[in-house]
Structure 1
Amino acid sequence: MNGHTGRELLAEAIRLRQQGNPEEARRRLLDLAAEHPGDAEVAYQTAWIHDVLGLEAEAVPFYEGSLRGTELAEEDRRGALLGLGSPYRILGRCAEAVTTLRQGAAEFPDDGALQTFLAMALFNTNQHHEAMQILLKLLATTSDDPYVRQYRRAIETYAQDLDDTVRAG
């Protein structure tokens, strides 16, 4: 987006969202998106406000637009990948959710939220084994529970191949 005023209008819309006035923020962001259709940051913020309002279907094209090109800041890209993957899943577009969230998890391997949402999308596409692996690894590496920490190595080992740990009794 060119111009100082455009950035100020974007900042004001973000402030409105943060201050609990999402409807006014949405109105302003829709105006900005119409004026600056190729601006990734405006598209991302417009998607986000639709998500905040539970308007997932309306958020999707803005998330998609925000991810075209390379101008989106890294943290915003992270948010946009998660933001797009989640509505895809909610809207029943689970294969697209898996693709998007896989991309996000590959780009941001330390992001537990992306991994969690990927696991949910994998579950929805009947890829239960991989979903369970992701969640077990995440649990083992991020849990503060002292008992989980005590068994971390075993959990990580079992997560590698869940089927190999099942023995006939």
Structure 2
Amino acid sequence: MYLHFVGVISIDCGVDEGYTDKTTNLQYQADDIQFGEMNNTSSIYKMDHISQIHKQLNTLRSFPYGKRNCYTLKPKQGMTKKYIIRAYFAYGNYDNKYKPPVFDLYLGVNFLKTINSSEAVVIRIEAVHFASTERIDLCLVNIDQGVPFISLLELWPLDISIYQSSSTLLTLDLLTRLNLGASEDNFIR
């Protein structure tokens, strides 16, 4: 059984054509930006061990030019809605330099986190954001410690009652996420 996820934006960064993932039935968009460079992770770093999103982590978009490069998301639900934003970073020695970069991540003008891609094979950032405008900008900022990159970007609409907070931005730290009930052919995302 496949579910249709209304209002979800999923961007597989570094691919030139969108597709539907056969495992999850999620539709992935290709990059629609004209800047940056599309890359593949090194074949010795393939992400096949990471369930459900391994394909999406084998490509990335790097930004060797400019100080600040942004993805602009325009959710169908518009403003005054709550969203969870997920960004994944898998360096995979795509540049053959064996030097994972360090760069900053912003949601609009709000600092989210410094991404140090030497800390893990895959870094996942999650934040709950109350959109006060029609567009949401996720920006990678070069801090002169290597070339910023991104592998996967997702935006999921949330029920307004989830994650009650007076803040318009709530970053989440994920320790682990386990699936304790579904069978192998019944994926939950």
TM range (shorter): under 0.3
* Larger relative contact order (Cα-Cα within 8 Å, sequence gap ≥ 6): 2
TM-score w.r.t. length of structure 2? 0.24
TM-score w.r.t. length of structure 1? 0.26
The structure with the largest strand share of the pair is: 2
Structure with the greater alpha carbon radius of gyration? 1
The structure with the largest helix share of the pair is: 1
